[in-house]
Amino acid sequence: MPYFDYLPHIVLFTVGTLIGLEVSYKWHSEPFVNKKIEPIPLIIALIGGGLIVIYAPLGLLFLGFVVGMRPGYGVYETVLGILFALILWVILVII
């Protein structure tokens, strides 16, 4: 099996991180201070986590958005998104 089976995953993830970086700099131009969970990235992370189980490249695009956000932002959202994906995977695939 070739490696480029995962080319869409990698490309979409990279694109997602780039978009995330750009957009989060639009959202936050102030110095990094707050450490609370924001609603919009959380929703995106949850969508990403859900989509990973169904169609992985698209899910990675949304997760990449949260991963790639400005340094310091999007950490909790990422963790929550991955946890959600794990829970969904356990429910759908294993059980």
Partner 1 sequence: MIYPAAGSMLYMLLELITAFLFGGLLLGLHRKIIARIQGRPGPPIVQHLIHTFKFYIKELTIPETSSMPLYVAIVLALSAVWVLAFLVGPVLLGPFSIIIMCYAVHKVSEHGIGLASGSPYTKMGSTRAVLSATAEMPLIVAPALVFFKTHTLVLSDIINYQILHGSLFMDLPLAAIATFILLLSKTPFNPFGIVWGKDIVSGYKTEHFGVIRGVMMFGEILGFFVLLWCFLTIFFGGIFNTPLTIMLTMIGVTIILGFICALTPMIAPYHSVMIQWIFALLALINVLFI
Q: Residue numbers of the site for partner 1 (CB under 8 A)?
A: 1-7, 10-11, 13-14, 17-18, 20-21, 32, 67-72
CA distance 18 to 34: 22
| Least distance (Å) between residue 3 CB and partner 1 | 5
| Least distance (Å) between residue 65 CB and partner 1 | 11
* Nearer CB in complex with partner 1: 32/90: 32
- Cβ atoms of residues 40 and 74 within 8 Å: no
Q: What is the DSSP letter of 28?
A: -
| Least distance (Å) between residue 37 CB and partner 1 | 17
CA distance 78 to 86: 12
| Least distance (Å) between residue 91 CB and partner 1 | 22
* Nearer CB in complex with partner 1: 11/91: 11
Measured at the CA of 13, the angle between CA 32 and CA 60, to 5 degrees, comes to 95
* Nearer CB in complex with partner 1: 12/42: 12
